[in-house]
Amino acid sequence: MEKVRCLIIGSGPAGYTAAIYTGRANISPVLYEGIQPGGQLTITTEVENFPGYPEGVTGPQMMEDMRQQALKFGAEIRSGVITSVDFSKAPYKLVVDGEKEIYSDTVIIATGASAKYLGLDDEKKYSGMGVSACATCDGFFYRNKTVAVVGGGDTACEEAIYLAGLAKQVYLIVRKPYLRASKIMQDRVLNHEKIKVLFEHNTVGLFGENGVEGAHVVKRKGEPDEERYDIAIDGFFLAIGHKPNSDVFKPYVNTDEVGYIITEGATPRTNVPGVFAAGDVADPTYRQAVCAAGSGCKAAIEAERYLSEHGL
């Protein structure tokens, strides 16, 4: 039976930062990379808002740097996905890839969240070439250009307003005849001179030679007065929600109705002693790499304290 003191699940900024801190604290952490090694940043291009990189850095490079830093301080990084857990008694049992069992005194859940996509083949085709699920990350590249945001919730409205501060024109593509967002966000969007809301519209495809140049949209799809046409855009932003990767932990760890792990106040403590959550899996609000890194640091410090308080 393998038993470790700290097991970190996930290899985004939260997981690696937790590994750097617990590694430096001589806890010999073991980190499982999960389904998408490096996390969401590996699907963005340039990262310009992470402090310390005045020239910017690519998402994959930044994650490789963090990985090397974690290795330097003694973290053991393994490929593998945690497929089930038993948090009913400590040390906690975790199952890797459906077969290997590992026990740990503390667990840091840093499994992130996955942006939802419409499921169009063109979203994959133009990934990193005009399709994005993060306006704060990629909006800057669309200064004075035309973009579309898909979604009618608070995130979509927020992203449309953010992009309207940079772009020439923003289309908000909403499938229903109304916005789901809060009243104040609706008002801001509907009264913004640069934002045009396309109610009752669905996107059915994207086109362009070397990147997105436009979208095929359908108005009132399936109705007798259905209308199909194209809009010219340079960027296509998805804002139809995120899914926190917390399903495996739900039998033991409290989550909100969407699945975000609930932590105690501003700490990364979950309802299970010695189990901590960091990064996007517990952050429905900010979802930024720098915030994830910060919460990974907090989780590591909490794990270290827990081990020492329990003489482990």
Distance between first and last Cα of the chain:
17
Q: How far is the CB of 248 from ligand NDP (least distance, A)?
A: 22
Asked about 138 being catalytic, the answer comes back as: yes
Structure tokens at 225: 């007065």
- Indicate the residue among 97 and 256 with the shorter CB distance to ligand NDP: 256
Beta-sheet pairing, 131-132 with 235-238: parallel
- Indicate the residue among 24 and 175 with the shorter CB distance to ligand NDP: 175
Catalytic residue among 134, 234, 283, 297: 134
Question: Which of 164, 111, 178, 114 has the alpha carbon at shortest distance from 135?
Answer: 164
Q: How far is the CB of 241 from ligand NDP (least distance, A)?
A: 4
Q: How far is the CB of 48 from ligand NDP (least distance, A)?
A: 22
- Indicate the residue among 29 and 151 with the shorter CB distance to ligand NDP: 151
- Indicate the residue among 33 and 158 with the shorter CB distance to ligand NDP: 158
Question: Which of 198, 184, 194 has the alpha carbon at shortest distance from 163?
Answer: 194
State which residue has the least CB distance to ligand NDP: 153
Burial of 114 (0-12, 13-18, 19+ CB in 10 A): middle
Catalytic residue among 6, 105, 122, 137: 137
Number of H-type helices and E-type strands within the chain? 7, 19
Q: List contacts with ligand NDP (CB under 6 A).
A: 118, 150-156, 158, 175-176, 180, 240-241, 284
- HEC states along 208-223? CCCCCCEEEEEECCCC
Catalytic residue among 6, 105, 122, 138: 138
Residues belonging to the active site: 134, 137-138
